[in-house]
Structure 1
Amino acid sequence: MKNLNVIDNLRPLPINFYYQPTLDLARSLLGCILLKDSPEGIAAGIIVETEAYIGPGDMAAHSFQNRRTKRTEVMFGLPGYTYTYSMHTHCLFNVVSGNVNEPEAVLIRGIEPFYNEDLIASRRDNVKKSKDWTNGPGKLTKALGITMNDYGHLLTKKPLWIAEKRSSNFKIEAGPRIGIENSGEAKNYPWRFWISDNKFISR
């Protein structure tokens, strides 16, 4: 049986945590713990890689030029909510940031398994190496059981929440974001952040 005391102590971060400038939030999320409860149990991972998207001036952002659609609507609201979207059959998980009508978000790109690795492994049953279970934005959502149904969920509440970091004893590195080649000069912005030397980063 898993040690539930570990999870019981991981309470959701307060809502004011999300009221940071997006680049600061992308850094602050590193080391925090992302958790998802499901009928199969709770699975959790330490956030080790993030990417900031600062629309409407960011050509790589879904909200570039204030593009407001059914998909991006949640980004125009308050920070601290879940923005999920599908890409190549994968569900990707983002944390809404910015002020109302300032649609910004932080993509979670990689997590290090922290709790219930058996469940995480079962959801990634065709992957033998543990480092490949969660080292990508589509991989980690499958591993934790995050789906499109989580769109619009407030991250201060279960079943999907983020808890405070266990340690800040790590170095943060920054560099260009990944997979946004057709976004003009925005492809060079150093808005991807990761924990140095962590094997669960996506690249």
Structure 2
Amino acid sequence: MIFSPETLAERAKSVKIMGVLNITPDSFSDGGENFGVDAALRSAEEMVACGVDFLDVGGESTRPGADPVPLEEEIRRVIPVIEALAKNFPQVPISVDTYKSRVAELALDAGAQWVNDISGGRFSPDMFHIVARRGAGIVIMHIKGTPKTMQKNPHYDDVVEEIYEFLVGQAEKARTAGIPPEKIVIDPGIGFGKTYEDN
């Protein structure tokens, strides 16, 4: 495709804006300001007023070097927030940022419609099936390693080819599990297991 001002303007009409709510005390992007239901609702209200298309809720920091959060703690953080968002902003789709299938399952039951999985389905083998059974969507992201290890000398022989092959392969697994193509989004994972040059 040849890009011109006209074609770029046309493509921009399909751009969606996601408002990110990190329900963590140690978030690298908001410093923990959304920790708790009331704080998250206040931030969400501002985001919705500004026109976001989605609200993305995460209960585990994925900054470089971050330690994993225990399953029950992640559930305790995100499920009440998702329930409150679904009640207060029923017109705004909600995604849950998790790689744990149990968190995803409970979040979808609580009102989320999408799962934003930084592992692209690798860390929880049943993730795609859980998403498919609930008719939800999936964001498949590429990461090399884990948040704890991802920035320790990441190396690729061909960064574009390796990420492309991973995303295509995981998207095909998602389709095989029963997730329709229109509910599959791919994310190259800028900053997740990549050097400055890789990004």
Instruction: Say whether the fold is shared (TM-score over 0.5).
Output: no
Q: Specify which structure has the bigger relative contact order, considering alpha-carbon pairs within 8 angstroms and separated by 6 or more residues.
A: 1
TM range (shorter): under 0.3
The normalised TM-score by structure 2 is 0.26
> TM (normalized to structure 1)?
0.25
Q: Where is the helix percentage greater, Structure 1 or Structure 2?
A: 2
The structure number with the bigger radius of gyration is 2
